[in-house]
Structure formats: C-alpha cells, structure tokens
Chains A and B, each alone.
Chain A
C-alpha cells in the first residue's frame, strides 16, 4: 500500500515568488493536514482538509493557502515568498479525523 506522497521533494525559490506543493494521501484517506517544520519554531499546524473542505486552520498569514480535490489530493500554496518561509513542509493523511495520521517525506523549500 503506497504511503503519503509529496512532490516535489526539494524546491528553491526566490523571495517574492509563489510556490505550490502537492500531497497525495494514502488511498482511502480523506483527511489531509499540512505542517511547517523549522529549527526555530518546530512543527506547526497549517491547515486541515476533509472532503474538500477546510476544517481547521493554524496561525499563519493569508499568504498560505490550500485546497483539496475530489480525489483527496491536496495542494498548498505560498504566495510572495519570504526568507522565513524556508522550511520542511509535511503533509499527513488520515482515514478519518481523529485516527492515526501518517506523514509523507516532506518538501524542503528554500527561499533565497
């Protein structure tokens, strides 16, 4: 059974650009959550989607957005990139909210 797949694995972007990250959950999982991991702030929750609806949102500026498609795949977008957005972005999927969350390998974003 395939795990959570995140693409791309690595990205380098310039300040001011925008970026889109993709997450394909485990087959049958309908909940997808996104997290940002940095050395300074640790793991922080960005948002959660379930059945194409955002159910929960963390304390991030509006430059961070996401969506979920009917096949449960999710994308997150960061506009007007800042140096501080450099991080490992992790996606997690669940069969239902409340049960085990399985994480992908992450996308390492570097903003220069």
Chain B
C-alpha cells in the first residue's frame, strides 16, 4: 500500500541549504512530487521526478531519488526567508495517476 513519511520540522539560516527528506513505501511508484504550501494558500507544484530517474535539478532545487531505500529528498540551495512554508512530498502510483498520496508535510522555517 501507499504510505509517505516526512520529518515534521526543519529550521535553517538564510543562505544555507535546506534538505527535506521523504520516504515512501509503494514500490510501483511512477511519479514523485514536491509541493509547497504557504499560509492560507493552495499547493504549488515545485518539481517532480519519474521513478526511473536518480536526480533532477531545477534552478535552486535538486531532487534526489534512492529507489533501493525508497528515499526522496529536496535540496533548496541558498535558502531565503520567502522559502518558509510547508513542503509536501507526494507519490502517484501505477495506473492510479490521478491519486496523490501525500506525506504529513515538513514545516521549513528560515531565520535571517
């Protein structure tokens, strides 16, 4: 079955790198996503990775996928105060592409 786990809190200093981790259980995952949610807002798609990829880079964001350990991470380089938000990892499985299973979310706090 599908289950996605994330650590709940991360605190970093402005300018440092942030690494948010996620583990998933379904071995047939096809797409793995990272979303950002700011207070009072919906979810903003940051990036996604296919399960046959190891890494994807998009400007300040780097996604690493370890398929053997079912571990996904999101690295934000040069973290800014505007990056403070909740970050969700999600998977979509097999033919149920329209269903996303989300982790609990990681609250990222960036200190000046």
Tell me what chain B mostly uses at the interface: helix, strand, loop, or mixed.
strand
A60-112 with Cβ < 8 A to chain B: 90, 92, 94, 97-106
Q: Mark A45-59, 1 if CB is under 8 A from B, else 0.
A: 100101000011010
Q: Which stretch from B21-29, B76-84, B98-106 is at the chain A interface?
A: B98-106
In the complex, the answer to whether A56 meets B98 with C-beta atoms within 8 Å is yes
Least CB separation from A105: chain B residue: B42
Q: Mark B69-112, 1 if CB is under 8 A from A, else 0.
A: 00000000000000000001010100011111111110000000
In the complex, the answer to whether B45 meets A98 with C-beta atoms within 8 Å is no
Partner of A103 from B42, B92, B99 at Cβ < 8 Å: B42
CB distance from A4 to the nearest CB of B (A): 8
A31 at the interface (CB under 8 A from B): yes
B43 at the interface (CB under 8 A from A): yes
Tell me what chain A mostly uses at the interface: helix, strand, loop, or mixed.
strand
| A interface residues, Cβ below 8 angstroms from B | 4, 6, 31, 33, 35, 42-43, 45, 48, 50, 55-56, 58, 90, 92, 94, 97-106
| B interface residues, Cβ below 8 angstroms from A | 30-31, 33, 35, 41-45, 48, 88, 90, 92, 96-105
